[in-house]
Structures are given as structure tokens and as C-alpha cells.
Structure 1
Amino acid sequence: MNNIAQNAKIERNIVKSVNKNLDASIELLKKTVNINSGSLNIDGVRKVGELYKAELDKLGFKTELTSGEAYGRAGHLIAKKEGKKGPKFLLIGHLDTVFELDSPFQEFTMLNDSIMKGPGVADMKGGDVIIILAMKALKESGALDEMSIEIIMTGDEEKSGSPIELSKKDLVEGAKWADIALGFENGDNNPKTIVVSRRGSEDWQLTVTGQPAHSSQIFTESIGTGAIYEAARILNEFYLQLAKEKDLTFNPGFFLGGTNVAPNEDLTGGTAFGKNNVVAQTAVVHGDLRAVSPEQLQKSKVIMKEIVANKYPKTSAELIFDNEGYPPLAQTDGNMKLLEYYNTVSKDLGFGAVEAVNPRNAGAADISFTSGYVDMALDGMGLTGGSGDHTIEEMGNLNTVGVQAKITAVLMYRMMQQKKEE
């Protein structure tokens, strides 16, 4: 049998394996969706990890559930296998969800025969199950043994542990080892799109101080404008100078101002005291900044700091950026080339063309930590066709589990064959 015929036979066997194991994979998804694994529920995250670990153990991976004690989280599931041929693949998922133990959203329901509503079904236990199903198809088709693969399912994607250098250390080390990174988040929930770039996310905090006085003295030379006016000026200038920058966003999440303000320790809000006849002494604004490339991120930070420095009379302001955010996954030639391969596989399998998603429609994700290390990266390969991510209306289309697993396994097989022929 020639190579073309042999490759076609293995790809047919991959498809057959996914079809054979699909029902069991759906049951695994249902079981894990019903286990609360909010990022802060360490026991729940590890319980989900144990279930996925057992599946990967059966396929011959060397697996480990790491400790996250050093950064205050559950740790990660890491599975490895060393092959002798082809590129080195890093597959990325996460075990945690945004739904903690106090959430009213704890179990799945089927809205019809294919749409599942449940906590983490799309973001991203569906993606984790797709990884396992694809690995099983490669194993049963005889292709897995030669491949070099590392799977990392993090335990704190939704609420990263601190310090982030420790939280993401395993992910970065995996990226340094790998040639190709594949992420199984759900992108923009459109099965006809895939993620070639993701915007990074970084927090910022603005603190403004003004001269307190009776309100009758505001705008005088000795009193100036007060803290709230200065904070408002800064935010308005952010908007005027940066709002038209493509794919850049900067959102003030809360604004506290008055004579005294007390932000919560986790910067999700706080309290403020002031009187309408007193010039505001303090204002605090907390927000996030999202950029599509490291260059865009740095440029916007410089402009924001220049705006802050151009202050109103009798005020002072400090703008601090939290460097523990997610870096951008910039669009690269390698990522676009990998999209071409993915698109070809999707069409060859009868699932239609796939194009790059608008980065405005996909948030930050763990794959961003591979940026600058791997030759090629794609994300958004997980369960799709749903809506309501991060809300009690989260849902996904179970029909896409098999589709995504087939594309994943065939893509990896073809990439291995191409490397062998070079």
C-alpha cells in the first residue's frame, strides 16, 4: 500500500474511532459539568482533573496533577508522551470554571437532543473532552505512538493564581518545548471561525488626589478642580485619544470618588463618602486594558500615562498597570499557515471552510502564554455552537464535539506526516 492510500486509511480510522467513542465522551462531559470546579473550589477542580487524568492514563500518557499551593490554586493536569517523529504538540485546556460553589448554576440540562446548558460546558469542559476524544482516535488508528504531545489543562484559567509567574510556569515551559500550540477554548461560538490571535488583558488602577475645600471655592486658583473632575478628564481623554484604535479596549470597571474612598481588597468595588458641598479629595478607578499585540499594548500604555501627566490645577494622579495580566497572542505568519491546514482538513472532512475570528470576539486565554515561543498556534478548537459564556445561560452544541475531535486528530496526523516528508 502506498503512502497516500495508507494515510487515507488512517484518517478513515480516526473518523471511525471518534464515531465509536462519541457517546462515552458525551457522558464524560455530562459527569464533569455536574462537578463544581470554580477556580477557588480546589477540591472540585482536582476532582475534574482526576477524571481526565484517568482517561489519559489509559492512552499511555505520563500524567500528573501538580500542586498549586504556591500560587493559591488547585494546580494543573499535565500529560506527556514522547514520540520519535513529527512536530511537538502542546494541547491546552483548563479544568476550572467561573461558577463557584455559591453560584445558582451547578448542573446541566438538555434543552433538546443536542444543546446542553450547563456550567463550563463550553468554557471549557467541552474542549477538554474533545482533546481526550481526539487522542483516543489517534491511539486507536495507530498514529499516536509516534507523536510527541504535551497536554496541559490548567486549574486557574478563569481566575489566575498569584504570582502569575508560578501559575503559568508549566504552560510557558511547555510552550518552549513545543513547535505547535493548539487551544481548545470555544472562540466566538461560531463553528466556522478559529482563533489566530487573542487580545491580552491587563488591569490598571487610577488614583487621583485633589485639594479638599468648601464647594464654593472650586475652580479657584488655590483649590483647583478636585479629584473627581480630574479623574473624569483623564477617562474622557482615554476615550478621545484611544477609542478608535483597532482592536484596543480600555474599560473602567468601577469609579469611587469623594472625601474618603475605600476600595475592596480584590478591587471589585468599595465604598465612598462625600458631601455635595465639599470638593472631592480622592478618586479611584479600576479597569482593564486589552490589546491585540505587545506593540499595541505598550503604545497605549504610553499614551495613557501621558494623559495622566497632563493634570488639572491642584491635582495629582497615579496610573498603575498590573503586570500579572495575560499577554496578547499576536497574529503571525505561522498561525495563518496553521489556519490554512486547519481549513483544508475541515473541508476535506465535509465540515466546510473555516476563517479567522475577529479578535474582538474572543477574550484572553491560556494559549497567549505560548506567544513568542511556538512556531504556530491556533485556539478556539473546543466545543462551539452555543452562547452565554460566563453566565447562567451558558450552553453548547454537543454535535460539535465529534466534529472538532475529528478535525483535531486529522490535523495533527497530517502535520506529523508533513514533517516526516520534509
Structure 2
Amino acid sequence: MFKIINTPILLFLATSLSLLLVTVAHAKTPLDINEQKIVKQVKLALPQSLKDIEQAVNINSGSMNFEGVKQVGLLAKQQLSEIGFEVQWLDGSAFNRAGHILATHKSNNPNAVKILMIGHLDTVFAKDDNFQYYKRLSKIHAAGPGIADMKGGNTIIIAAMRALTKLNLLDNVSIKVLLTGDEESSGRPLSLSKKAIVDGAIWADIALGFENGDNNINTGMAARRGYTGWTLNVEGKPAHSSQIFNDEVGYGAIYETARILEAFRAQLEQEENLTFNPGMIIGGTSIDFDLDKSAGSAFGKSNVIAQKAKVKGDLRALSNKQLKSAKQTMQNILKNNLNHTQAELIFEAGYPPMALTSGNLALLEQYSQVSQDLGYNAVIPANPRKAGAADISFAAEHVDMSLDGLGLMGTGAHTKNEIADLTTLNKNIEKAAILIYRLSKKSHK
């Protein structure tokens, strides 16, 4: 029976106390007969898993290529249906994306543990991108769009389910597999595009994410920082540049923007695990900005005081408390406007943080034990600074335990140098399958 209270832990992953919680040496325990069978089954099915990755990678599924995302979804639907899952396509037209795949296995045991497994179908590579196909580079490396982020992770989910089904080891666990179609470019509103994740998490006891995390097989994401976009709009009084700084004209929009950004840095940069980045700035007498293209232009002259400026940025925090505090500090900075200037700061709805909790650390410890029992290394908490936001953050606050970064490891994600480390494929399939098998032996009430 699981009884984990989801309370924040006041420590950071890099501290010795945090690491102690999950790296205390545990004696290697022998695999039971079913776990030995799982290892053999994963090995036998490895060629099929490699084919599955190649087939998925060769379908372009950039987030806005709806047909491609649907095609990858139909491939996953076929694979999961063959295993025996009930699979449905969740249309995404209401949030301007292709949609999601939801596959369900329901145990007849009313006390069976319920696990939500999360992946995503889409990639960052557009339909007309010249990085389109799977390429085997060596015995242990392969390249391709989305191979690690995260078509390899989807394959690990499906391969683990295949192994457990083949061995009749899913009787005491209920599973929902959710493969979203908009992780790389979220549909809006988030209340609709992420509804399937939230609903699945409310149903579940445990959430497992199969992103590649920080691409280190010896770490797991027990915490993830959230993502919030922000827009800073600033206005000043236009006039001839010779009049700048005087009481009638003031400082102009660009000086006020510089003051605000520098104050953000000075007051918040020492906050642990908090980052805030102004990624785009335009300013001048007049400005234009295209939100869809994330591009803009400005008109101005060196002898004219700037009237308008705009900054687009992001804010990443490890907890809702930290996020709320940072937002308040940023808004307070805006109140001290330079003479004849005004500013507004608009925060967008974004990804919530996946806070470090006792439940998450307990699940990571179980996963680490599986790894060590298989003869692999211990798995320690990843530094959340080394990975971005992910879909599991929408699930984490609704479950007793959550863990991410269980996918296929690699390098160069989101670039045309994306390469997968194929030596991690069988290892992470084994670990996922045995973790779920061990969890299935514990009832939940």
C-alpha cells in the first residue's frame, strides 16, 4: 500500500543531504524468476525496438505538421493495440494541435496500483526541415530528428509494455500511456491542451515520464523547473535627443527598459534554481512584433528619444512558491519608473514546476535499486538546471510519486546533431519494466 505525502523538501539536489537520500549503498538483491524473464524478453525483442525507433523517426512530426503527428500516433496506436491496450486518438483541434494518443490497460484488481506513462509524438523539426531521416552511425549510435527527444522514449514505453504483456505480468497494475502531440509547442489554451495529462494524473497514483532528461543514464528527474513566458512593454516620451534627462522629457523607453532588466538581474540572480532570460528586445520611435513568428522590427533615429520598447523572456522556477515570489519581485521593480516612462509586465500561462518531494525521491530510490540489481549504476537526482520543462509537470502535483528522464539518452536534442546512445535502450527498457513489475506487487487503497 502506497502512502506518500507530497510535501516539499527544503533541500537542493546538489547538497550532500539530498544525494544521501538516494545514494546510500544498497545491497544488490537477486532478480526473481519473473525479473530474469523480463531481462531475457527485452533482449529478444531488442531488434524490434530498434526497428520501431527507425520507423517513428522517419516520419516527420514537427508540432505543426498535424498529419505527421497523427501518422506517428497511428503507428503507436497499432503497436499498443497489438499488445492489448484500448487505444484512442484525442483530437486536438480545440487547442490548434494534432492531438494525443491515450492507451489504457485496466486491471481487474480494485487495489491495483495505477500508473500514468508519459511521452510525446511531436518534434521541433518542421515538415520542410532538411534533417528528416534516421541514420545508423555505428553499432552504438544513431542520428535522426527526435530520436532521443523523444521517439526513443516512446519506444521504451511500448517495449516495456510488450515484455510485461508477453510474460502475463500486468494483471495487478492499471496503466495509461499518454503520448501527447504538442509537448514541443503547446496548444492553447493550456487548460485544453494539457487536460488529458491532468485527467490521467488525477486517476493515477504514480506518473513516469520518458523524456531524455539531462541525457545521463545515471540520473533521474525527481524535480523539474516550470516555464513561464513574460512580456515587458515600456513607453517613454519622444523628443529630440538633446533634451534627454531633463524634467520635461525624462529618460525614454530604452533607458527604462535597461533599468528594469538590470534590476531583475541584480535582485534575483542569486536565487537558487531560478533563471529569467530576456530572449528578444526591440525599441525605438515605433516597433512592430509578430507573435506567431516571434520576430519584430523597429524604427528610430540616434537623435530621437525612444518612445517604445518590448522584451520577450522566460522565467523558470523549481516550486510554485519560488515562482510567485519572483513574479512579485519583478512587478515591484516596475513601480520605480524613471521620469516620464511607464511599463507593464505580462506573465503567460506556462508549465508548472515539478517540485522535489519525498514521494519523488522514494520512487527514484526504487528505480535506482532496480538499476543496481540489474548490475548497472545507482541513479541519483539530476540537477533540474540541466533540463527544460516537460509534460510531466502538469501531472506531478496530482500523484503521490513522479519521476522523469527515463527515456533514451543522447546528445544534441533540438539540433541537427541529435544522436542517440543505443547502449541505453535495453537498459532503460529493463529498468522501466522491472520497476512497474515491482510496483504492481504493492496494492494501493
Is residue 163 from structure 1 mapped to residue 221 from structure 2 by the alignment?
A: no
1:13: how far off? Answer: 1.0
In structure 2, the residue corresponding to 1:130 is in which secondary structure? helix
- Within-5 A mapping of 1:95-174: 95-174=121-200
Q: Distance in 2 between matches of 1:310 and 1:82?
A: 58
Quote the residue 1:397 is aligned against.
421
Is residue 284 from structure 1 mapped to residue 307 from structure 2 by the alignment?
A: no
Q: Deviations over 1:29-84 (max 9, x none)?
A: 00110100000000000101111111110111100111111111110000001111
Quote the residue 2:16 is aligned against.
none
Q: Which runs of 5+ in 2 are unaligned?
A: 1-28
Quote the residue 1:198 is aligned against.
224
Quote the residue 1:46 is aligned against.
70
Q: Deviations over 1:299-338 (max 9, x none)?
A: 0000000001111111000000002x11100010000000
**Conserved 8 A contact 1:14-1:140:** no
Match for residue 401 of structure 2 among 346, 356, 376? 376
| Change beyond 3 A, Cα 1:347–1:317 | same
Quote the residue 2:296 is aligned against.
270
Q: Deviations over 1:157-215 (max 9, x none)?
A: 00011111110111100000000000000011111111000000010000000000000
Q: Distance in 1 between matches of 2:93 and 2:171?
A: 34
Quote the residue 1:245 is aligned against.
271
1:419: how far off? Answer: 2.8
Quote the residue 2:209 is aligned against.
183
Match for residue 81 of structure 1 among 105, 113, 122? 105
Quote the residue 2:61 is aligned against.
37
Q: Distance in 2 between matches of 1:416 and 1:7?
A: 15
Is residue 415 from structure 1 mapped to residue 439 from structure 2 by the alignment?
A: yes
**Conserved 8 A contact 2:207-2:396:** no
Q: Distance in 1 between matches of 2:412 and 2:370?
A: 29
1:106: how far off? Answer: 0.5
1:267: how far off? Answer: 6.1
**Conserved 8 A contact 1:230-1:312:** yes
| Change beyond 3 A, Cα 1:52–1:370 | same
| Change beyond 3 A, Cα 1:31–1:73 | same
Is residue 216 from structure 1 mapped to residue 242 from structure 2 by the alignment?
A: yes
RMSD of aligned Cα (Å): 1.4
Match for residue 337 of structure 1 among 362, 365, 373? 362
In structure 1, the residue corresponding to 2:232 is in which secondary structure? strand
In structure 2, the residue corresponding to 1:318 is in which secondary structure? strand
Q: Distance in 2 between matches of 1:73 and 1:118?
A: 23
Quote the residue 1:259 is aligned against.
285
In structure 2, the residue corresponding to 1:419 is in which secondary structure? coil
In structure 2, the residue corresponding to 1:418 is in which secondary structure? coil
1:224: how far off? Answer: 0.5
**Conserved 8 A contact 2:106-2:175:** yes
1:6: how far off? Answer: 12
TM-score by length of 2: 0.92
Which residue type is aligned with residue 213 of structure 2? G
Is residue 26 from structure 1 mapped to residue 74 from structure 2 by the alignment?
A: no
Q: Which runs of 5+ in 1 are unaligned?
A: none
Quote the residue 2:85 is aligned against.
61
